[in-house]
Chains A and B, each alone.
Chain A
Amino acid sequence: MSEVIVVTSGKGGVGKTTTSASFATGLAQRGFKTAVIDFDIGLRNLDLVMGCERRVVYDLVNVIQGEATLKQALIKDRNNENLYILAASQTRDKEVLTTEGVEKVINDLKGLGFDYIICDSPAGIEKGAHMAMYFADSALIVTNPEVSSVRDSDRILGLLGSKTYRAENDLPSIKEHLIITRYSAKRVNTGEMLSVADIKELLGVSLLGIIPECQSVLSASNAGSPVIRDDGSLAGKAYSRIISRFLGEEVPDDSAKKGFFRRLFASNKEKELA
């Protein structure tokens, strides 16, 4: 059985592509055959974050328009044989995405034996975002602790519940998981930033995990290697915990605060190292 998972947010720049890349890589690391599709037609980025930009020959639009086969367009990851990337077109208009075309690509991927199909949604609520979510079984709602991001996430939740294949055909609804990214515990503690509890309460969606604001995300993008591969980084560890939770394993809370003395100790140790 394959599962289609959309990574969506409404608002731009909150970490959808970062999350798609690490989530897909994490599932592949656990042995699942995983495909990750970039739906951001005209503004493709997933190939860069995954480090395969120079190997893109054909893309999603070529497949939908019959200019290439799915097998020709799928790019096999260099580090993991379970992981494949389907790039977005950099030159076309997003209007070329059709429901029938996207449905065929997803069904063909299922036919090829993929366990997970991750759809990286573009920002906004237009065609690209609509197509990315339409055939989803689960959704990762990526939210930043910030007013406009939370509001847009709520809007997206409304669309997931009404403008998708499952909703339109009275099937069991899409499973929704909240992922809070670019979180700064320090700024929450000073009251500058919405807390995890606030966001959970406002959106009413169960929390899959919290990704801290982390310098390693930028270095990972620079290197073209999803941050989950950087297992020494805070963001990498947080994405790994998200994978475990998604697969139903028990893992400690992301927000579990260190005790005062441990924090003191840690910061002293950091000072020593510096």
Chain B
Amino acid sequence: MNILRLLKRGKTAKAAKDRLQIIIAQERSQQSQQTDYLPLMRQEILKVIAKYTGVKLQDVKVDLQSNRSNSVLELNITLPENLKAKTPAEEKATETEEEVEAETA
């Protein structure tokens, strides 16, 4: 009677390890995916901002905060004092500091 139970019992640690290997790999890749696109996106957003305002790379602070259900992306851009708006739409930007918040699922 004991042999069957012994054999069965002997397998549980192996099963635990196999399951963990899969879930840990999955979670690690999710974690890195979440932030991997950040540098690239930052570059692209910057290109757009630079096109209209001439703000430099080091003047933009990008911060990503995540919890279980959602992530908040915070962009902090200090606009130059005597900014000359190049397009009518840009004339609205009178403050020297603007905060753009975007939510990603």
- B13 and A192 contact, CB distance less than 8 A: yes
A180-218 vs B: 1/0 string, CB under 8 Å? Answer: 000000001011111100100010000000000000000
Cβ contact of A191, chosen from B9, B20, B27, B35, cutoff 8 A = B9
Knowing A190-B10, A191-B10, A191-B12 are in contact, say whether A154-B27 is a contact too (CB < 8 A). Answer: yes
Bin the interface of chain A by size: 10 to 19
Q: Tell me if A112 is interfacial: C-beta within 8 Å of chain B.
A: no
**Which residues of the other chain, B, contact A202 by a CB distance below 8 angstroms?**
17, 20-21, 24
Cα of A161 to Cα of B29 in the assembled complex, Å: 14
Any chain A CB within 8 A of the CB of B51? no
Are B10's CB and A147's CB within 8 A?
no
- With A147-B20, A198-B17, A202-B21 known as contacts, the answer to whether A155 contacts B27 (CB < 8 A) is yes
- Closest chain B CB from A37 CB (angstroms): 25
Indicate if the CB atoms of A150 and B11 lie closer than 8 Å.
no
Q: Does B23 count as interface, using CB distance less than 8 angstroms?
A: yes
Does A237 lie at the interface of the complex (its beta carbon under 8 Å from any beta carbon of B)? no
CB <8 Å contact, B13 and A154: no
A192–B7 alpha-carbon span in the complex (Å): 11
CA distance A158 to B19 in the complex (A): 19
Instruction: Decide if A193 touches B13 in the complex (CB within 8 Å).
Output: yes
B28 contacts the other chain (Cβ, under 8 Å)?
Answer: yes
Q: Does B58 contact A (CB under 8 A)?
A: no
Contact B14 A151 (CB under 8 A): no
Q: Is the CB of A194 within 8 A of B17?
A: yes
- 9 smallest beta-carbon distances between A and B, as pairs: A191-B10, A198-B17, A191-B13, A147-B16, A154-B24, A158-B31, A202-B20, A194-B13, A150-B20
Using a CB–CB cutoff of 8 Å, the interface residues on chain B facing chain A are 6, 9-14, 16-17, 19-21, 23-24, 27-28, 31, 35
A interface, CB within 8 angstroms of B:
146-147, 150-151, 154-155, 158, 162, 188, 190-195, 198, 202
